[in-house]
Amino acid sequence: MPKPTAETPIRVLIAKPGLDGHDRGAKVVARALRDAGMEVIYAGLRQTPEEIVESAIEEDVDLIGLSCLSGAHMALFPRVLKLLKARKVRDVPVFAGGIIPDDDAKRLRRIGIRAVFGPGTSLEEIVRTARGIARRPS
């Protein structure tokens, strides 16, 4: 068996919580992370926070990306964080993207979302940040 190395790809879950059909952003980000050499588990649309957390556990991801353009981010994102905590997943960082007002973004960062990306963020920045915050194999 090969030795575990830095080459082991980062596994990232990309999911869209809630009732929001706008998945272009999530798909563009998934594609960019893939092209950066990551394994993207794409959970797609209309995921409940419970589904997202269970997927993150089963897939043992190093990072979770949530996308929301419906305006329900202040209800859904904190719920994902809470469920992660309840399941004792403490080492998997979460980032977010979508239409998120600055004040909300600040509050989300305060409760533990590691990065919030709005429209116009470059893919390079998203990839760089994702690499920077992803959990490393222990």
Partner 1 sequence: MTAARPLPAAARALLRGDRRALARLISQVERGDPAVGPVLRALHARTGRARVIGITGPLGVGKSSVLNILLAHLREKGHRVAVVAVDPSSPFSGGSVLGDRIRIERDPADAGVFIRSMASRGRSGGVSAATRETVRLLDAAGFDVILVETVGSGQVDVEIRDIASTNVVVLVPHLGDEVQSLKAGLFEIADVFAVNKSDLPGAEAAEKDLSELVSLGAPRDGWRPVVVRTSARERTGVAELWTAIEAHEAFLDAEPGRRAAAERGRVAKEIVGLVQARLARETSERLAQSEDDARLLDDVVGRRIDPRSAADRIYEDHRKPARRARRK
Angstrom distance (rounded) from CA 136 to CA 131: 10
Angstrom distance (rounded) from CA 13 to CA 4: 21
Q: Is 125 in the site for partner 1 (CB under 8 A)?
A: no
Q: Is 129 in the site for partner 1 (CB under 8 A)?
A: no
Compute the C-alpha angle 108/76/55, nearest 5°.
105
Interface of this chain with partner 1, residues 72 to 111, rule: CB under 8 A: 87-89
Q: What is the DSSP letter of 28?
A: H
Looking at 62-101, list the stretches that DSSP marks H as alpha helix, in order from N- to C-terminal side.
73-86
Angstrom distance (rounded) from CA 12 to CA 114: 14
Minimal distance, residue 83 CB to partner 1, in Å: 10
Q: Is 57 in the site for partner 1 (CB under 8 A)?
A: yes
Q: Is 7 in the site for partner 1 (CB under 8 A)?
A: yes
Q: Which of 26, 36, 66, 80 binds partner 1 (CB under 8 A)?
A: 36
Decide whether 33 or 100 has the Cβ nearer to partner 1.
33
Residues that bind partner 1 (CB under 8 A): 1-4, 7-9, 11, 30-31, 33-45, 48, 50-51, 53-55, 57-60, 87-89, 137
